[in-house]
Amino acid sequence: MSSRLRSRPARIVACAVAAALLVAACGGDDDQVGGPGIVDLVGALPARDREDAIWVAYADLDVATELAGEERPDRPGDEDQLLEWGMAVSGPDADVAVPWPGDTARSLALTGEVDDELGWSILDVAAFAELQTPPARFAVYRGIDHDDVTAALGSADDGVSTAGDGDDFSVNPAERTAARPLGAPLHFAARDTLLGEAPDADELRAWAEDDAGSLLDDEGLAEVVGALDELGVYAAYVMAEAADTDGPTDTMAVAQLGATEDDPARGVLIYRFPDGGERGEPLVEERLDGASFVTNRPWSERFEAWEVEVEGDLVVVTVTFADDTSPAVLYQAVVTRDLVLGPPPAG
């Protein structure tokens, strides 16, 4: 284990990427909020190969709401209350924040319209996991009553209920709604206690019949997601590199350890090195000792301290944020590949 301690004022204005901040709760201690769940939900997503990079978002909205000290509105109605809750669990100035599924971030103010069309909305979701790699995104939700879905959309066709008309993946401006901003059909099916959502009816039907494999059939994803589960993650973003990517890691995740009475909010980065974490640790240390490719700011100005641990193929980094640094910096750094090991981001 190695560590670097930093203690200096920071004057960093975090980018407003509130719609997709990645946060995880501390696990293991009795006074910490969090628990298992990511393995179950990410494992329920269908299998994917690594022809392209794989992006996965996960969040337990019930836990996030509790950590934020907020109450979620029961149903759409009071827009101010709805947006207040949204900012509390995903705002740029919040210590607690989550990624949103699908187009929720852009349509939060239209939650009532989503509920009218689908029979449910983000306010009903206890937790979710979503494959966000286009075009065939796929989400699983916990907490949705499937009877509400069929009541809104009609009887299921071979187990699949559909909002909208037309061919899968078609773009139809005349059919655009808050839930379907491109006008394409959106399909829903139940499996055990989960609701699946996808633009591909055939894949969803196979999933409902438990015949679509599991995303955690991928060894790298299974190892990283398992480590997040042990931390008691309540929200996270995971990236699996495409098979032909030239780099030392094949899977990475970012998350945050929520604040407790004894500890401030902290962030977590997990890197998987197929050749072994011991060989990868110096690369991680070198990256953190440097500066952002995007802003040229040293990482030591954004993180007051960090600790690096090696666990088999994994290098796990725990960071403490500088006073004025939003936890959103972790998400931004992954989307721009600023903390992804390998060549600097283009441009």
pLDDT at 7: 32
pLDDT at 12: 26
pLDDT at 141: 96
b/e map of 15-52 (b: 16 or more CB within 10 Å)?
Answer: bebbbbbbbbbbbeeeebbbeebbbbbbbbbbebebee
pLDDT tens per residue across span 138-152: 999 999 999 999 999
78 vs 45, more confident = 45
Residue 1 pLDDT level (bands cut at 50, 70, 90):
low
Question: Edge-to-edge strands of the sheet including 127-131?
Answer: 2-5, 303-311, 314-321, 266-272, 251-257, 235-240, 54-60, 127-131, 138-142, 194-198, 186-191, 161-163
**Average pLDDT rounded to a whole number, residues 90-101:** 82
pTM of this prediction?
0.86
pLDDT at 14: 30
Alpha-carbon distance of 187 to 273, in angstroms, equals: 37
How much of the chain exceeds pLDDT 70, in percent? 86
Range in 74-78, 184-188, 199-203, 221-225 the model is least confident about: 74-78
How many CB atoms within 10 Å of residue 215?
24
pLDDT at 38: 92
pLDDT tens per residue across span 286-303: 999 999 999 999 999 999
pLDDT at 13: 25
107 vs 300, more confident = 300
pLDDT at 79: 80
pLDDT tens per residue across span 8-58: 322 222 332 333 334 433 344 444 344 348 999 999 999 999 988 999 999
**Average pLDDT rounded to a whole number, residues 101-122:** 85
